[in-house]
Amino acid sequence: MYALQLTAIRVVFFLIRCLPVRACGALGAGLGRVFYRIDKKHQKTSLDNLTLIYPEKEANWHAHIARESFAELGRTLFELPHVFLRSRSFLLSRVTIKGEAAFREAMAQQKGVFLMASHHSNWELGGLMISLLNYDSSIIHSPLRQPALEAFLSACRCRFGAQLHARKEGLRWMPKALRQGRCAAIMIDQHQVNGMSVPFLGQDAMTTTLPAAFVYKYGTPIYSVILHRHAHEFRFCLEFKEIDAPPEGDDKALSAHALMSNVNAYFSKEIYARPELWLWSHRRWRDV
Got the DSSP string for 8-30?
HHHHHHHHHHTS-HHHHHHHHHH
pLDDT at 42 over 80: yes
Output the CA torsion 104→105→106→109 (10° steps): 120
Give yes or no for a contact between 212 and 260, defined as CB atoms under 8 angstroms apart.
Answer: yes
Q: Phi and psi of 181, rounded to 5°? A: 85, 20
pTM of the model: 0.94
Beta-bridged to residue 96, according to DSSP, are: 237
Contact, 212 vs 63, CB < 8 A?
Answer: no
Residue 244's CB: how many other CB atoms inside 10 A? 10
Which band of pLDDT confidence, cut at 50, 70 and 90, is reported for residue 54? very high
pLDDT tens profile 207-235: 999 999 899 999 999 999 999 999 999 99
Q: List, in sequence order, every residue forming a beta bridge with 98; answer none if it has no partner.
A: 239
Pairing mode of beta strands 236-242, 222-229: antiparallel
pLDDT tens for residues 93-124?
A: 999 999 999 999 999 998 999 999 999 999 99
121: left (phi over 0), alpha (psi -120 to 50) or beta: left
Distance separating alpha carbons of residues 213 and 113, to the nearest angstrom: 13
Delimit the domains of the chain by residue range: 2-277
User: What 8-state DSSP symbol labels residue 134?
Assistant: T
Q: What are the DSSP E strand ranges found in 216-269?
A: 222-229, 236-242
pLDDT of 16 reads: 97
Residues 38, 249: contact at Cβ < 8 Å? no
CA distance 211 to 41: 33
Closest CA to 82 of 96, 95, 63: 95
Residues 6+ apart with CB under 8 A from 89: none
Helix (H) / strand (E) element for 138: namely strand 137-141
| 192 has pLDDT over 90 | no
DSSP structure class, residue 216: H
Identity of the amino acid at 201: L
Instruction: Note the pLDDT of residue 15.
Output: 96
Report pLDDT digits (tens) over 126-139. Answer: 999 999 999 999 99
Percent of the chain with pLDDT strictly greater than 90: 90
Query: How far is Cα 11 from Cα 184, in angstroms, rounded to an integer?
Result: 32
pLDDT of residue 230: 97
**Residue 191 predicted with pLDDT over 70:** yes
φ, ψ of residue 230 in degrees (nearest 5): -85, 110
How high is the pLDDT of residue 287? 65
